[in-house]
Amino acid sequence: MDMFGISPRREFGQNFLINDAIPKRIADAAVGEFSGGACALEIGPGIGALTRELAARCRRVLAVEIDSALIPVLEYTLCGLDAVEVVNRDILDCDIDKLARDAFGGSEFHVCANLPYYITTPIIMRLLEHGGELLRSVTVMVQSEVADRLTASPATPEYGAISASVAYHGRAKKLFSVSAGNFLPAPKVNSAVVKIDLYRKDDRPVCAADDAMLGRVVAGAFGQRRKTLSNSLASAFPEIGRDRIASVISSLGLDPRVRGEALGIETFAALADAISAELSADAPHG
């Protein structure tokens, strides 16, 4: 870093791994079982520590880095690794499915990332919703409390909208913890590595008729955590009205006074389908 005259930038949430053992463990977790034949999309390669480990295990690695100042660093640290391509882009502005298809020729791929704490949830949601059918897994290092939320079960304090969304798209597991001393600069909190193995379209255990509606229901249910499900969804769907929302909830055998954090993704999917039916009933026909 010193030879390039740059340092980690706070606005990008940059904390670089300085323990060589950690990138090896992350790469093994992400693509180890596909060694030699996998394709990997890395978000935020930083100075390339994890990128090098992915390149040793994959036939193709696409690294997406938002910070243009790091591009010459990556050209230096990744020199000679023909399997790696680095692009200077913001992953939140990318069509991830197209980006991966262009880079990997239509092959399945895995995402690996050391995510900045401030933008973890938007990136994960974009991957889940726009990663495309070829995305097989997402392995991320995140703040410990975020890892707890990603892997939380219903009726636990950590369970929230992101927990339910992850459960809809795949199976999440916390693999191992990473203490703050493994980074430069050292963050004020510890981290953990989580892997989400994504369901294929034909083996998803829960399937809502409209994924966008499901997202709206989940967001509404957790938008005001202290309110009952009936009140929360009435606020999220003012076009339906409080009484009809309560009726929809009751029709599924639920107490309208239940709170969203008590419900699993199966129930959210059923709610989404039932609310869609209510909205369809109101739509003009002919």
pLDDT digits (tens, 9 = 90+) for 40-61: 999 999 889 999 999 999 999 9
Give this prediction's pTM.
0.90
Nearest to 113 by CA among 132, 95, 135: 135
Q: Delimit the domains of the chain by residue range.
A: 2-198, 211-282
Distances (CA, A) of 199 to 96, 204, 207, 226: 17, 5, 11, 32
Question: For residues 154 and 264, is the Cβ–Cβ distance under 8 A?
Answer: yes
Question: Per residue in 64-92, pLDDT tens?
Answer: 999 998 999 999 999 999 999 999 999 99
CATH number of 211-282: 1.10.8.100
**Phi, psi values for residue 161, rounded to 5°:** -60, -40
What mean pLDDT do residues 24-51 have? 88
Distance in Å from the first CA to the final CA of the chain: 66
- Mean pLDDT of all residues in 15-42: 84
Q: How far apart are CA 27 and CA 52, in angstroms?
A: 9
Between 281 and 267, the more confident residue is 267
Task: Compute φ and ψ for 38, nearest 5 degrees.
Answer: -80, 160
CA distance 67 to 273: 42
- Summarize pLDDT for 167-224 with one digit per residue, the tens: 999 999 999 998 877 777 666 788 999 999 999 988 899 999 999 999 999 999 998 8
Contact criterion met (CB below 8 Å) for 47 and 16 = yes
User: Which amino acid, one-letter code, is at 279?
Assistant: L
Contact 190/255 with Cβ under 8 angstroms?
A: no
CA angle 271, 277, 280 (to 5 degrees): 140
CATH architecture of residue range(s) 2-198: 3-Layer(aba) Sandwich (3.40)
Cβ neighbours of residue 19 under 8 Å, at least 6 residues apart?
182
The size of the chain, in residues, is 286
What is the pLDDT of the chain when averaged over all its residues?
Answer: 90
| Separation in Å, CA 250 to CA 195, 221, 243 | 36, 15, 11
Measured distance CA(57)–CA(64) in Å, rounded: 18
